[in-house]
Amino acid sequence: MGEKRLTGRIARELIGTIKLPSLAPEIVAGYRALPDLTSTVSDVLDRFGLTSAVPAAVLSPSIPDRRLVGRALTVECTARDRPVASPAAIAERAAAGENGLADIEAHNLAEPGDVLVVKGVQGISAMGRVSARIGKRQGELGAVVDGSVRDFESTRALDYPIWSRGGSPLTGKYRLETLGINRPVVIGGVNVQPGDLVLADAAGVVFVPRDLVAEVLARAEAAVAREAERLAAIDAGVPIPDLPGGRVGG
C-alpha cells in the first residue's frame, strides 16, 4: 500500500502501518477456489493451534450468498461517552456537525481487494450507505464490523457485503470515535493484524495471519484433495467402515 495524501479528518498519529504486503493473485485465487471456504480453513488453523474463526451467529452476513477473500484494512472505534451521552449532548454535536468517525481515512488508504475490518460497538452503527459507497468505489470487497451497521437496503443494492453483529439506526457520528487505523484490533475475540487475510462466507469469518497465508492454503488444498477421495467413495456406495480417511465427521 503506497503513501497517500490524507484527508485531514484525523491526525496522522492515529494511522499505523500504511504500507502493507500485497497478496499474490495466485494466493487469492487459490483461497477463492476452496469449497466451504471458512470451514475448510478453520480446520487447517486448528492444526496450528489457532482459533481464528468468528461464527455467523456472532458476525452475520448482510448478503448471505457472498464470500470474501481479501486483505484486512483495520479500524478501531470506541464509544465517545461512558455512560451514554444525554440526548441534549447528541443534539448539540449533531447541530455542530461533529463527527468522531474517521472511516473516511481508512477508505482513502484502501487498495482494490481490501476488506474493511472495524472494531465497533454493538447497538451503534459504525457504517452506513455513504461509507459503503466510498468503500465500493475504492475497490473494497466489503466489510467486517464487530459492532452494528445500518442502511442494509442501500448496501445490499450496492453489492457491498458486510458481516456484523446486526443493525442499528443509531448513527455513530456523534456516539463513536476512531482510535486508530491499520493498527491491531480484536474482532470477535480474534486478534487481527493489518494485512491479515480475511475470509468470510455464510458460516462466518476467519482471519489468517499474513505470515501463514501460503502455508495454510497449501494445507487446505491438500485437505480438500483428501476429502474429495472420501466423498467419491461415499457416492460410490463404499461401506462406512471401509471409507478412506478414518472416521467420518462434519
pLDDT digits (tens, 9 = 90+) for 61-72: 999 999 999 999
3-state secondary structure 145-167: EECEECCHHHHHHCCCCEEECCE
Pick from 95, 85, 173, 65: which is nearest to 128 by CA?
173
The pTM is what? 0.90
Beta-carbon contacts of residue 177 (< 8 Å; ≥ 6 apart): 77, 78, 79, 80, 100, 101
> Over the stretch 176-199, which tens digit does the pLDDT of each residue have?
999 999 999 999 999 999 999 999
| CB neighbour burial string for 6-28, b if at least 16 within 10 angstroms, e if fewer | eeeebeeebbebeebeebeeebb
Using pLDDT thresholds of 50, 70 and 90, give the confidence band for residue 244: confident
> Over the stretch 103-157, which tens digit does the pLDDT of each residue have?
888 999 999 999 999 999 999 999 999 999 999 999 999 999 999 999 999 999 9
Is the C-alpha dihedral spanning 67, 72, 75, 76 positive or negative? positive
> Over the stretch 35-79, which tens digit does the pLDDT of each residue have?
999 999 999 999 999 999 999 999 999 999 999 999 999 999 999
